[in-house]
Amino acid sequence: MLIARPAGDSFIVVDAFSRVVRLGEGLAQTGRLSDEAMDRALGALRVCAEKLKRRNVHLARSVATEACRRASNGAEFIERVRAETGIRLDIISAREEARLAVLGCHILLEPGPGPALVFDIGGGSTELVLVESPRDGDRDTPPAILDWVSVPWGVVSLTETCAAERDSHEARVTRYAEMRGRVDDSFAGFAERIAPLRACAADGGPAGPLRLLGTSGTVTTLASVHLDLPQYDRSAVDGVIVPALSMRGITQRLSTMALADRRELPCIGRERADLVVAGCAILESILELWPAHRLGVADRGIREGILRSLIGADDAAPFTKPLSAPTAATRPRQEKRR
C-alpha cells in the first residue's frame, strides 16, 4: 500500500505498508487460493484499511494480480475482502499490470536511443515489456510499449512447480536447471519476436547499447547482496545500476547455496530464502534474453504507476473508491478539492 499526495507531476509519500503474504501459495497444485493464504492476506489488508481510514484517504485504486487471475476462487476472495475490510479490489489483466509497472518505474531507465526491456518478477507471473523512449529524450513522458509478454512463472509459482529443494549440491544444480528450462521455454515466442530489435540495439549497432530495467523483490534483493548491505535500504537500492556480470555471479552463487546458508544472508533472511532461487532463475533467463551489460534496479512499480495514473486523471475524472490494497495507490483528502 502506498499513500501519497501530489507534488506537481510527481507525489510525496505520506504512508506505506507491505507484507509478504504468499497469496498464491499452493495455487499451482490446487488451482485455488488456500484458506491459510487468504487469511494471511486479509490480515495485511486489515492493516491497510486502518491506515487508510486514519489518513482519511479520498481517492484510491486497489488491484489484485496473477494469483486472483488464476484461482478458481479468486472472485470469492475479492468479495470476502470487500465484506471484511471495505477494500474493493479490481483483478487487473496482465497487460494492465505490465503497463502500470512501466509507468511506475520508467523514470529510472537509463537514457539512450532504441528499445529497452523493462521487467517485473512477481509471485505468480513475470512481465517483460519492450519499450522505446521518446525521441526528444523527455524522461517524464512514459515510453511507448512496442511488445510485451506475461508468463505464469513468478517466484512462488516456479518454486512450487519444480522439484522440492534437496540438501545435495548436485540436486540443487539439477533443480535450478529445471527452473531455467521452464522459464526459457515460456520466453521463447517473445524472444523470437524481439530478436531483430535486439540485434539492432546491440553494442556497436545504430541504436546504441542494450538497456535493461527491473522492478521486483528479486532484483532489489540481489542488488542489496551486490552492495553488501547489512540490511535492506531502499535509498541505496532504488535507481542503482548493477553490472550484469555481477548479477549473474550472484544468481549462480545463490542457486547452489544451501537453504540454511541463504537464510543467514542479510537482505534475504527466512522470509525470502526459499523463493530467491526461483527469482534467480527468472532473472538469469532475462539476462540471456536481453544481454545488456548493465541492469537498472527499481524499488518502485505497480503502486507508483497507479499513483501516477490517479494523479494525472484526477481533475478530469473524479474517482472515489473508498479504500485501497497492498498493490494500491491512494491520495489523501485535500481541503481545496471536493
The model's pLDDT over 314-323, given as tens digits with 9 standing for 90+, comes to 443 333 333 3
Q: Distance between CA atoms of 31 and 27, rounded to whole angstroms?
A: 5
* Residue 199 sits in the same domain as residue 164: yes
* Residue 21 sits in the same domain as residue 118: no
* Residue 282 sits in the same domain as residue 158: yes
What per-residue confidence (pLDDT) applies to 201?
66
For residue 190, is it within any domain? yes
For residue 337, is it within any domain? no
Q: Distance between CA atoms of 4 and 16, rounded to whole angstroms?
A: 9
* Residue 112 sits in the same domain as residue 175: yes
What per-residue confidence (pLDDT) applies to 118?
97
Question: Using the 8-state DSSP alphabet, how is residue 106 labeled?
Answer: G
* Residue 129 sits in the same domain as residue 263: yes
Q: Distance between CA atoms of 81 and 45, rounded to whole angstroms?
A: 8
Across the range 306-310, mean pLDDT stands at 88
For residue 283, is it within any domain? yes
Helix, coil or strand: residue 31 = coil
Total domain count, the chain: 2
Across the range 292-309, mean pLDDT stands at 93
Question: Residue 24 is part of which domain span?
Answer: 2-92+303-332
* Residue 119 sits in the same domain as residue 55: no
* Residue 199 sits in the same domain as residue 184: yes
* Residue 156 sits in the same domain as residue 84: no
**pLDDT 10s digits, 21-34:** 999 999 989 999 99
For residue 246, is it within any domain? yes
Domain CATH for 206 = 3.30.420.150
- Strands 2-7 and 10-16, how do they pair? antiparallel
**pLDDT 10s digits, 89-141:** 999 999 999 999 999 999 999 988 889 999 999 999 999 999 998 876 677 78
